[in-house]
Amino acid sequence: MSKIRAAITGIEVFLPEYRLTNRELSTMVDTNDEWIMQRIGIKERRILKGDLATSDMMAAAAKKLLESTHTSPDEIDFVIAATNTPDMWLPSTACIVCDKAGIRNAWGFDLLAACSSFIFALETVNKFVESGQYKKVLLLAGDKMSSIVDYTDRNTCPLFGDAATALLIEPTTEDVGVMDHNLHADGAGAPYLNLKAGGSKLPASYETVNNRLHYVQQDGKTVFKYAVSNMADVAVEMMERHSITPDDLAYLVPHQANLRIIDAVGRRMGLPPEKVMINIEKYGNTTSATIPLCLYEWKDKLKKGDKLILAAFGGGFTWGSLYLKWAL
Ligand SMILES: CC(C)(COP(=O)(O)OP(=O)(O)OC[C@H]1O[C@@H](n2cnc3c(N)ncnc32)[C@H](O)[C@@H]1OP(=O)(O)O)[C@@H](O)C(=O)NCCC(=O)NCCS
């Protein structure tokens, strides 16, 4: 019997309308467009305004996906919401999105793995689909990073933006879909990128709020160093494992954290710039959404069977690469 793999058969995105430009940021903290473009490579990022949450963005993307793939909500049998900014701790954002999108026959849960959430979730879905029991899976990936970013901290606030994506994943026995993975998690990285309060270790108190501990904090230089070496190592390893040359590879689809990180990873893989998907300038780091946002924007250029390597690095530390053959 041929092997069952998970294939992406539909993809939609939701981008908030509001654009937070470097010019506007420079009225909030001591920064400027030139510094941000040179050190990070971001021009603007989308911000979800008003009384809306991650589930609203995900539900909007999910509804578009159901329509564009002619899928009834009743056909969805499993849902994963990859996010670091759930609407609340309980219930899961996956449950809330199911309700908002009219999905009644599925079960599912949230998956939190910082900036690696999407690739961790895609491999998780792959394993469910491989079992043969799941036929139409909804993979949601998105974050309202503006809800955990400190807009008085110039070390973090230029980096992040809000967005959500929704993907339909179905089984295939063709030679496409998720081919292989190389994923890692190492909590020794916790001191360098974290959000300290609001969990069981440091529940919310006046003190945690006064000390701004409900915002994401990082040691940017350390994160930068590990991001470059770990992402490049797993991406190169994936090329070697499958004897993929730079000529064979259609694209590297990297997590969009910093243009300098992306460029360094592409160089280590021996890729020309046109084989690296980059849209960080328009959206910043949308955490769980960066990789599917790239896939969405490049989908018309991709052909069935195109070889892609997805690579990410994030808090945890978590990192990894996935080898994917495009199925559409
Ligand atoms: C955050 C990051 C852009 C900082 O860039 P960097 O080149 O390492 O800059 P440094 O932290 O060394 O700071 C250099 C100087 O710029 C200043 N600076 C920091 N942020 C600034 C900003 N937004 N505008 C202007 N100056 C800034 C610093 O205060 C420092 O000044 P000093 O030399 O007078 O002390 C970079 O380290 C990075 O991208 N790290 C990875 C972060 C990441 O991707 N995290 C998400 C998870 S994957």
Q: What is the DSSP string of 185-249?
A: E-GGGGGGEE--SSSSSS---HHHHHTTTTS-EE-HHHHHHHHHHHHHHHHHHHHHHTT--TTT-
Distance 219 CA to ligand 1 centre (A): 9
DSSP labels for 112-140?
A: --GGGHHHHHHHHHHHHHHTT--S-EEEE
Which of 173, 206, 235 is at the close of a domain?
173
- At 142, which CATH number? 3.40.47.10
Tokens of 184: 């890692």
Q: Which domain holds residue 112?
A: 5-173
pTM score of the predicted model: 0.97
At residue 207, what are phi and psi to the nearest 5 degrees? -65, -45
**Looking at the structure, do residues 137 and 215 belong to the same domain, yes or no?**
no
Distance CA 120, CA 175 (A): 21
Specify whether 242 is catalytic.
Answer: no
Distance CA 269, CA 289 (A): 23
160 CB less than 6 Å from ligand 1? no
**Looking at the structure, do residues 49 and 153 belong to the same domain, yes or no?**
yes
Distance 155 CA to ligand 1 centre (A): 5
Distance CA 310, CA 208 (A): 36
**Looking at the structure, do residues 319 and 185 belong to the same domain, yes or no?**
yes
Number of domains in the chain: 2
At residue 150, what are phi and psi to the nearest 5 degrees? -90, 105
**Looking at the structure, do residues 152 and 189 belong to the same domain, yes or no?**
no
CB distance 285 to 257 below 8 Å? yes
**Looking at the structure, do residues 135 and 202 belong to the same domain, yes or no?**
no
Residue 31 alpha carbon, nearest atom of ligand 1: 24
**Looking at the structure, do residues 11 and 143 belong to the same domain, yes or no?**
yes
Determine the residue of 25, 35, 37, 39 to mutate for testing ligand 1's pocket, defined as the one with the most ligand atoms within 8 A of the Cβ atom: 39
Residue 257 alpha carbon, nearest atom of ligand 1: 44
Which strand (E) or helix (H) includes residue 283? helix 280-283
**Looking at the structure, do residues 64 and 136 belong to the same domain, yes or no?**
yes
Which of 150, 173, 196 is at the close of a domain?
173
Region at 77 (left for phi over 0; alpha for psi -120 to 50; beta for the rest): alpha
**Looking at the structure, do residues 151 and 186 belong to the same domain, yes or no?**
no
**Looking at the structure, do residues 183 and 158 belong to the same domain, yes or no?**
no
Which of 54, 107, 120, 99 lies closest to 76 in space, CA to CA?
107
- In this structure, the number of other CB atoms found within 10 A of the CB of residue 58 comes to 33
226 CB less than 6 Å from ligand 1? no
Q: Is 274 helix (H, G, I), strand (E, B) or coil?
A: helix
**Looking at the structure, do residues 248 and 311 belong to the same domain, yes or no?**
yes
**Which is catalytic among the residues 115, 126, 181, 182?**
115
Size of the chain in residues: 328
The CA-based dihedral angle spanning residues 328, 284, 99, 203, taken in that order and rounded to the nearest 10 degrees: 140
Specify whether 115 is catalytic.
Answer: yes
Distance 39 CA to ligand 1 centre (A): 7
Which pLDDT tens digits describe the chain residue by residue (328 residues)?
A: 689 999 999 999 999 999 999 999 999 999 999 999 999 999 999 999 999 999 999 999 999 999 999 999 999 999 999 999 999 999 999 999 999 999 999 999 999 999 999 999 999 999 999 999 999 999 999 999 999 999 999 999 999 999 999 999 999 999 999 999 999 999 999 999 999 999 999 999 999 999 999 999 999 999 999 999 999 999 999 999 999 999 999 999 999 999 999 999 999 999 999 999 999 999 999 999 999 999 999 999 999 999 999 999 999 999 999 999 999 9
**Residue type, position 145, single letter:** M
**Looking at the structure, do residues 263 and 306 belong to the same domain, yes or no?**
yes
Which of 173, 99, 102 lies closest to 135 in space, CA to CA?
173
Bond preceding residue 317 cis, omega within 30 of 0: yes
**Looking at the structure, do residues 156 and 218 belong to the same domain, yes or no?**
no
> Given this model, what pLDDT does residue 271 score?
98
> Given this model, what pLDDT does residue 2 score?
87
Specify whether 22 is catalytic.
Answer: no
Strand 137-144 and strand 44-47: the pairing is unpaired
Q: Scan for tokens 């040691």, then name that residue.
A: 219
Which of 128, 147, 173 is at the close of a domain?
173
Distance CA 323, CA 287 (A): 20
